[in-house]
């Protein structure tokens, strides 16, 4: 029997990349998994089918996390369907890289509203359910090493992830007494569509030289840590940002 049997998880940005690996990992451990995707219906349906074929349960919900109405609507639907939300993973995120002098307010607002605003809205939508109705819950925010180790062209992205780390710590303090634990995972270079442009530009062999373990991360490397933070072994961990980057941020 999986360690998350009878639990309900909700993952934003679950149809591709890191989110997809998180959905699969949670479902393999027995959780019923609702996941949010923005536009790629085919990827979402393929994942639902794949998980059903493996004997798991996953259900896709279309919605844009940057729209403040999305979170309430989807959390209500998940609670109506499965009665609770034990695990929330705020994974949906985007980049709009531009040097600051070229960056428009729209690039700034869209990234902040998706990466930070989306996490705020989903936390807000599950907080009462977890803190008062269930008196238990786990929230895991997917941050980035770019919050602390900044790259040119990412003022918007770095600001969104840095704020997400601070938000994680502040929310952890407020919800701890209600048995709701809030943590973040900060990945380094992970092989997904999001990192494709950087990988092509810099060259994978060059990137690997900056990473002490000499390989790019896989979505499953991040999913394994999310699974740990969602499970019984992490019952005494809250307000932490766990780096998963093969040593990249050590700067060696």
Smallest distance from the beta carbon of 126 to ligand NDP, in angstroms?
A: 16
Rounded to 10°, the helix 105-112/155-175 angle is: 30
Cβ proximity to ligand NDP: between 34 and 134 the closer is 34
**Is 61 an active-site residue?**
no
As measured in angstroms, the least distance from the Cβ of 137 to ligand NDP is 20
In angstroms, the Cα distances linking 249 to 18, 49, 178, 206, 229 are 19, 37, 33, 16, 21
Question: Following DSSP, what letter does each residue of 192-211 receive, concatenated?
Answer: SSTTHHHHHHH-HHHHHHHS
Cβ proximity of 192 and 144 under 8 Å: no
Q: Are 8 and 84 in contact (CB under 8 A)?
A: yes
Least Å distance, CB 159 to ligand NDP, is 13
Nearest to 160 by CA among 109, 124, 121: 109
CB of 53 to ligand NDP, least distance (A): 20
Q: In the 8-state DSSP scheme, what is residue 181?
A: E
Phi and psi at 32, nearest 5°, equal: -85, 130
Return residues touching ligand NDP (CB under 6 A). Answer: 12-19, 36-40, 43, 64-66, 91-94, 114, 142, 144, 187, 189-190, 192-195
Q: Which is nearer to ligand NDP, 38 or 138 (CB)?
A: 38
Q: Is the CB of 8 or the CB of 60 nearer to ligand NDP? A: 60
Question: Which H or E element spans position 12?
Answer: strand 8-12
**Of 141 and 238, which CB lies nearer to ligand NDP in the complex structure?**
141
CB nearer to ligand NDP: give 134 or 229: 229
8 Å CB contact between 61 and 75: no
Q: How far is the CB of 132 from ligand NDP (least distance, A)?
A: 27
Residues designated as active site: 157
């Amino acid at each position: 029997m999986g360690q998350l049997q009878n639990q309900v998880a909700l993952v934003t940005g679950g149809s591709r990349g890191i989110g997809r690996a998180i959905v699969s990992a949670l479902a393999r451990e027995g959780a019923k998994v609702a996941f949010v995707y923005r536009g790629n219906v085919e990827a979402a349906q393929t994942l639902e089918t794949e998980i059903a074929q493996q004997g798991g349960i996953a259900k896709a919900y279309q919605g844009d996390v940057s729209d403040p109405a999305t979170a309430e609507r989807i959390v209500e639907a998940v609670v109506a369907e499965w009665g609770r939300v034990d695990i929330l993973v705020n994974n949906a995120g985007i980049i709009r890289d531009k040097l600051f002098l070229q960056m428009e307010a729209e690039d700034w607002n869209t990234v902040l509203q998706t990466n930070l605003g989306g996490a705020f809205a989903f936390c807000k939508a599950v907080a009462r359910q977890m803190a008062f109705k269930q008196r238990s819950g786990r929230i895991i925010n997917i941050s980035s090493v770019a919050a602390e180790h900044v790259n040119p062209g990412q003022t918007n992205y770095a600001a969104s992830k840095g704020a997400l780390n601070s938000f994680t710590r502040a929310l952890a303090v407020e919800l701890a007494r209600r048995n709701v634990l809030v943590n973040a995972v900060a990945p380094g270079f992970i092989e997904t569509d999001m990192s494709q442009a950087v990988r092509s530009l810099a060259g994978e062999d060059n990137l690997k030289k900056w990473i002490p373990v000499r390989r790019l991360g896989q979505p499953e490397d991040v999913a394994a840590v999310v699974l740990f933070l969602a499970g019984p072994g992490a019952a005494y961990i809250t307000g932490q940002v766990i780096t998963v980057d093969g040593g990249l941020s050590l700067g060696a």
